[in-house]
Amino acid sequence: MRVASALAGLTAVGVLLAGCGSEESPASEATASASPTAGDATASPPEVDGGGSIDLQGYASVEELADASPVVVLGTVASWEEGPIVDLGDERAPYAVLLVAVDQVVKDRDGVASGDTIAVPVSLEGEAVAAYAERAPEGSNVAFLGGADVGLSMFDGPKAAEVENPDAGSGDGSTLLWGDVQGVIVETGSGELANLDDYGRGALWAELVKVPAGEQFGMLAQRIMAARG
């Protein structure tokens, strides 16, 4: 598994880890994190260019996010699919669906990540699905943290939005797992990390991007797994 390979690669910086399929969590203590700088939530998102150093206004560390997330999964890109389109009245918001082949279910509070894959909606923000597939092709490492929202029920209610093609990409819209704004992170072809959320593109915890490219995902995965306690 590529996730296990990424973890093993951390031996180059003195971190000895078991493969991702191990039942034991790493013994090393999670690295202390820097607090994020405040940002304007309405600002245009930075481009995803293989990871960045902009901290989001949100969880101060990956450990905090992992603790707060109902679902935490490590895996690889299985495929990118065309997803649902949400009609908000004054605009239409198309989504891709990232199908993640599950290597390690680190946490699953409500039992919603029981299969071999999870389906994660990703806002396209004017881009084609092919652009995402090029950025994070099949086999790329993925960390998913989120799962507080499942399916499309968030669009129901008094101010309901119409959802076109609700089953597109996942085969069953009820199985979609929504990541936290900081919680859908991929390893790009350069070996650097990138956050896929449209308001957090390229934004990561600063100490992660200080690690050499090719070792960043291993450090991220190690800290996620250590955080499960």
- Whether 82 is covered by a domain: the verdict is yes
Q: How many domains does the chain have?
A: 1
Query: Is the pLDDT confidence value at 25 over 60?
Result: no
Specify the pTM.
0.77
Closest CA to 215 of 11, 25, 19, 54: 11
In angstroms, the CA 102 to CA 120 distance is 12
At 175 the pLDDT is 87
Query: What is the average pLDDT across 190-194?
Result: 93
Query: Which residues span the domain enclosing 121?
Result: 2-21+47-227
Range among 13-22, 31-40, 57-66 rated most confident: 57-66
Query: Is the pLDDT confidence value at 38 over 60?
Result: no
- Whether 144 is covered by a domain: the verdict is yes
- Whether 28 is covered by a domain: the verdict is no
Burial 74-113 (b: 16+ CB within 10 A, else e): bbbbbebbebbbbeeeeeeebbbbbbbbbbbbbbbeeebb
- Whether 199 is covered by a domain: the verdict is yes
Query: What is the average pLDDT across 172-197?
Result: 90
Angle at 89 between CA 83 and CA 94, to 5 degrees: 15
Of the pLDDT bands very low, low, confident and very high (cuts 50, 70, 90), residue 148 is very high
- Whether 71 is covered by a domain: the verdict is yes
Of the pLDDT bands very low, low, confident and very high (cuts 50, 70, 90), residue 43 is very low
Q: How many helices (H) and strands (E) does the chain have?
A: 5, 7
In angstroms, the CA 65 to CA 85 distance is 28
